[in-house]
Structure 1
Amino acid sequence: MRRFVTTVIVSLTVMMIFRPAMADNKPIDESLQKRMKYLGLIIPEEAKQRFAELDKRPPSILLNPDDVFDWRELGGVTPVKDQGNCGSCWDFAATGAFESAVLIADSVEWDLSEQQVLSCNWGGSSCDGGWMNNAYQLFMYYGSIEEYCMPYAASDYIDCIQDSCVVMVMQEDLSDIPNNITDIKNALLIGPVSTTYTVFDDFYWDCYDNVYTSPNHAVVIVGWDDNLCGGQGGWIVKNSWGVNWGDNGFFYIPYNSCGIGHYTQRPLYTSHLPELTCDHEQIDVLVPSGGQASDTLQIGNVGVGDLYYRILSSAASNVDSFGYYWLESENLVGPDYSWIDITSIGNAIEFPGNPNYSNSGHLDLGFEFNYYGNLFNSICVCSKGWASFTDSTSTTSFNRNIPHTSLPNDLLAPFWASLNPGDSGGVYFYSNNSDSAVISWVEVPNNVGDGIFTFQIILVAPYTIIYQYNSMGPGGTNQGSIGMENGTGTVGLEICYEEEFTTGQKAVQFYLGPPPGEFDWLEADVSHGVIHPAEFQDINLTCSATSHPDGIYRGELEVYNNDPNNVYFKIPIIMNVGEQAVGDQDEVPQRLSLLQNYPNPFNAQTEIRYTLPKRTDVKLEVFNLLGQRVGLLQNATQNKGEYAVNWDASNLSSGIYFYKLSAGNKINTKRMTLVK
């Protein structure tokens, strides 16, 4: 996981942190005896000699004389973790310091994998002990991956699978810091540092003071406070014993106590974020019966750092085993949002009993509707944001995952949540008694009153289903279930469960296609790699119908990468097999595409072509390598279709340029070369 953080840029004079007053008699930490079993710092002889020479240097000039400096207050410290029953303090100290370096440089909070370091380091460090340098070497020469890809298991018996993950950040270098207060303070001005000290059997978190012996534990210094510990002054330290230890996982220790500051190291990292571009929103491949066909996906990097990526192919996750699949209006080939107001033409549903916990019973549709292979002519509406073709009695507000065998089944759930239409708002039903019906929840509050919701179901015979969301929230948008399921609750589609899907002005349509069948028809010639700044990678995709009958087959390309703005996304890929796939190619395009300019390289003039699957706002721009816009070729609302734009670059110098197509909220970028 990662999140963006706004780093606070302030004067280096920071207010003193409030902490509990020191007690005269420190209680014994009952967990310490257990922790003492897993103090895993092992310092190689070579490192001891190196630091011994370093410590002979005189202290540097103090760069910041402030009494207090704390990276927690400046937004430069990642959350405290727990090393558990493993002597991996060396791992957590190095990883914590590196996470902070990246957070300070990029304002991105990565949760990096300590298990990667345990399983993959080259220096033999393990749960039996280790040295921070082994973690830093891995970060510098291989790179660091996210926690989710190799979750921490506090074990040496986890296989190293880093090659199946995406490298998120690369450490640039490492600096050894002399063991004196001034040099450590100066190093802290750049970011938190890893260090070592001695844990004694009566150690406590608030200003413990003792002599120096061989260090046995590694931690991260995140700041200083010259007023700590009765005026002695001391370090503010992040430990790896969880948030329930010390001061929410931190402790305070006098300068030089227990040898704190020996073997201090600072990872070096400067901001160099990659920026991924992709030329496809969706890929449609037309394949003749029993044959194969190919298309090309182009991924580019218009950022300033190396882009690491990995691509996996899989059966489409938005398709169920019956053949239903869904698209939202934010997808350029998805439905258009167009709210249908039925409050004046429909009927307010009169719920029996308590309208906050009620079911309308069967309402006549006036036509037959095909749902999971069964025909229905009525529907039942629950006040809690769902409807069913068969369940006329359930009133449950306890939403769940979809699908599920428990009632209600034959379910349509546009927003199944604890809604109270009996308090305000209303639920309405309309049918044209021919081929379409609408059910709308209008300005209905939730049970805690922090959100008001307006959404609807649209049914169009024989099997079209659309959910529309007019306004949702502000509170409670992450407390519902959205999806649909069959009569046994064994097949269905879950769009989201207790996650925010929308705050309004969105449509979702469910389509019916053939069952997906076995996913063995897609092959990509490249699965992972590194793309340097201003470079692009073509990935050839081959779809084979040698063992698949005519029909439409759906899959997905899952793209993992280290662009923090776009770490993971999916590209739907559709294989259309049959005679229709090799027929008329002059139809309206089915996806957004930005084609390579022609000619390329070019002298002065070139043509740029693109296709739009539906009417949308379009902007076509040209940028130089510095990111400066040098041309605006299109800025208008355009209908679906294919377009060509000529660009005259006779007034520009030779070099590489990027052209960017913005269509709605989608962006495609390609590179071209001007040669004069």
Structure 2
Amino acid sequence: MNRYKTISMAFIILFFLSFNGLFAQMGGGHGGHGGHGGNGHQGGNDCDPDSLIPVTVSGTAIVDSSMMHPMYYLDENGDGEADYHLNFGPWWYEPDSGNASRPNDGDFVTIDGGMHDDDSLMGNLPVIIVYQINGEFWRDPFDPSWTHHGGHGGGHHGGHGHTWGWMHDSLQVVTVTGTAMVDSTFIFSHYYLDENNDAVPDYYLNFGPPWYEPPSGAERPNDGDVVTIMGGLFDNNNLPMIIVYEINGQVWRDTTGWGPHMGGRWIYRYMNQASHIQAPFDDDDWMDIEPGWHPGGGGHHGHLPDSLFCQMIQIFPQNAPNSNNENVFAAYEFGLFSPGGVNILWQDHMYGRHIQFANNVDYQLHYNDIQLQGFNIDESTIQVKYWNEQSNSWEVMGNAVVDMVNNTVTITDATVSSLFILTGQQNPLSIDEQSPTLATQFTLEQNYPNPFNPSTTIEFSLQDNAHVVLTIYNVLGQKVVQLLDEAKPAGVYQVKFDAGNLPSGIYFYELKVGDVSMVKKMNLRK
């Protein structure tokens, strides 16, 4: 009996032509480096984890070892044929903690994972990206690896939350050269370095959040590129991680402004100085915790431990859960970790727990004009809300102070929640109506098509000769690419924007004509 469902030769040829990188594990690949030959994905690569269907399936593993690197399938109904293709990531990938391993042919296994809703990826077999095998952690699709500074922190599936940091006050600065290995199973790629040319990663490379781009113009490597990395080495018990400072001699991140824990810091019950915690990639997002924060009691039975590692990051607004009825334009996640690595703001696989400190915490949350204009927010109506798991709703923090000059919101409150959001009412007037003089200078049309994949057209018109700057931003208001920066005569213009290398989500495009600008929102759906 044929253990694999029949795929026509014509389909195989077309599949190879269309998805060359998908089967790079079979030799060649795009990297030009024989030992790597691409990242070895097994279907469903570059997918958005939010688009995957959570599933748990049990069955017999089928391992096809006829290729350079094995392909994995699952027979769920015991008929001897594959019902699912199992994606364990690149052939060289191993989880950073736990005892999980790939199955042998004939093993009975239980798989927890995310199923791709496009069953045409692997010859009409549904693809499951593996999160757990037999209850052992394999990978966390929602884990923001750029905040990982040592080991797997439990993730959303483990109920511990996903921000984490290190206890070290300094890092060893190292310079290493090797071949880049890129795991693009998910929409945000993970980067590794093979230093000794054995086709196995020796370091994990932390380039920061996927939206971060350095002012120097340095770029992340492609799979198979030979690169020289200078950075801070965090040598944990698993794969050593390098926080990238330079790549091929170009500055990636200026570390002179970083605190000792890169976005996090330990606080202690009997500390005598305030602790300042800031987000790793925006110095204007921070929290100050004063001595006396500990409410008393022991470190068990629901009481706070004597020490906590505190961390904050800014997240995409659309990733704030249960926010469909909220007009969210900025969002933040906070973590409070016990010495054992458990985030006490996450429990029972649920987000949004909040606790009360014995005294107030000072917060500052930063937003920018691109976010305001892109979401058409009336700045005078901005509110800060936190998620209350007891009422199962977003609660307003009533003492927020909005600084419209510096684009910050400050709060003083004893509440520490895992999730904060900034919301605001829509401007009653459109941007055109708010500034009627704009129409006499230029017009900016809505991009078309919208939503789009992967390219769209942006049209604008100039009434007079002018210097024009057209820029694309992500949903955090951070610049992605500049499409135009030049003088233009009066007329109508159409500019094509190709987002083939960008993840799905909301983006903004801003047209500056002289000292006047307009921002519109667009939606990339892959």
Which bin holds the TM-score, normalised by the shorter protein? under 0.3
| Larger RCO (alpha carbons 8 Å, 6+ apart) | 1
Larger radius of gyration: 1
| TM-score, scaled relative to structure 2 | 0.24
